[in-house]
Amino acid sequence: MFWKSIVFWFVLMVLAIVNGTVRVKFIIPAVGETLGLVISTLLLCALILFATGLGIGWIGATTTWQAWSVGLLWLGMTLAFEFGAGHYLFKKSWHELLLDYDLLKGRIWVLVPIVTLLAPWIMAKLRGLLGV
């Protein structure tokens, strides 16, 4: 289950990259940056839930603990990539990275890590996969 969870996280990463491309090329030019970021965030949350719903059976999370473990793993990998690669690879400042979490500026990116954490448990529960 551990390795499948890691492999599946890379699928989620591809979805996030595609979402980012769509955001930059189509959504933001059509509606502006603030609304474009909101739409993109909500779209990515929906994609994470949808993909997880399709893949949770393959991953094999059949207990509540396993589903939460997958979510915690994905959350850790997501934050490590976002802040590690964002700062050291893409040369974004810490301030710029944290700006996406500023709810007072209309930035709701915080929903993505929350959904990433909860998605395995929510979808396993909805699919009736959870035993204990």
pLDDT 10s digits, 50-92: 999 999 999 999 999 999 999 999 999 999 999 999 999 989 9
Q: Which residues 6+ apart lie within 8 Å of 2 measured at CB?
A: 73
Is 100 a domain residue?
yes
Is 33 a domain residue?
no
* Torsion angle of C-alpha atoms 109, 110, 114, 117, degrees rounded to 10: 80
Q: Which domain holds residue 116?
A: 2-23+41-126
Confirm if 40 and 20 have CB atoms less than 8 A apart: yes
CA–CA separation, 111 and 52 (whole Å): 16
Binned at pLDDT 50, 70 and 90, residue 132 comes out as low
Is 61 a domain residue?
yes
Is 32 a domain residue?
no
Is 31 a domain residue?
no
Is 131 a domain residue?
no
- The model's pLDDT over 110-129, given as tens digits with 9 standing for 90+, comes to 999 999 999 999 999 999 99
- The model's pLDDT over 29-47, given as tens digits with 9 standing for 90+, comes to 999 999 999 999 999 999 9
Is 132 a domain residue?
no
Is 30 a domain residue?
no
Binned at pLDDT 50, 70 and 90, residue 131 comes out as confident
How many independent structural domains does the chain possess? 1
